[in-house]
Amino acid sequence: MLARVPKFFRNFYFLITLAFLVWMFFFDANDFITQFQTSRKLSALEEERDYYLEKIAEVQKDRKELLSNPELLEKFAREKYLMKKPTEDLYIIVEKDEK
């Protein structure tokens, strides 16, 4: 049975190298599968970081505009927080969802 296996596959160095590669790809703490999953997670976190950096820049731009323009600040306060002047009446119209 052993004679049917080619001599190259019976070589000591080939067997040790094969065992080392199997160990590194499947059993080691830093195996191939773990490295791949970590790489995917890193990519996802970098995309999320880029998204939040864009949102931060957008909010800072809006904040700068609001603080520099009193009319825009008043409009924002009226629409977002339903603020009004003391002499005004506020009417809120709620539309019903038709199902």
Q: What 8-state DSSP symbol labels residue 99?
A: -
Q: What is the pLDDT of residue 60?
A: 96
Token pair in block for residue 20:
């080392």
The answer to whether residue 98 scores a pLDDT higher than 70 is: yes
Residue 43 pLDDT: 98
* Residue partners of 51: CB distance under 8 A and separation at least 6: none
Residue 2: predicted pLDDT: 62
Tens of pLDDT, residue by residue over 22-75, are: 888 888 888 888 889 999 999 999 999 999 999 999 999 989 988 898 888 888
- Give the CA-trace dihedral at 26, 27, 31, 37, to 10 degrees: 80
Token pair listed for 28: 């080691």
